[in-house]
Amino acid sequence: MKTKERDQTTILVLTGVLTALVTVSIMVLPIPIPMTTGYVNLGDGMIFLAVMLVGRRHGAFAGGVGAALADILLSAAAWAPWTLAIKAGMAFIVGTCLHSGGEDKSASVVSVWGIGGMALATAFMAAGYYVAESVMYGNWAAPLVGVPWNLIQGAVGTAVACALAGALKKTPAKKYFAY
Q: What is the pLDDT of residues 12-46, one digit of tens each?
A: 999 999 999 999 999 998 888 887 777 889 999 99
Is the pTM higher than 0.85? The answer reads yes
Per the document, the length of the chain is 179
What architecture (CATH level 2) is domain 3-176? Answer: Orthogonal Bundle (1.10)
Domain boundaries, the chain: 3-176
> What pLDDT does 111 receive?
83
Which contiguous run of DSSP H or E holds residue 32? Answer: strand 31-32
Is the CB of residue 96 less than 8 Å from the CB of residue 117?
yes
Beta-ladder partners of 39: 32
Summarize pLDDT for 113-143 with one digit per residue, the tens: 899 999 999 999 999 999 999 999 999 998 9
Q: What are 71-108's pLDDT values in tens digits?
A: 999 999 999 999 999 999 999 999 999 988 765 555 56
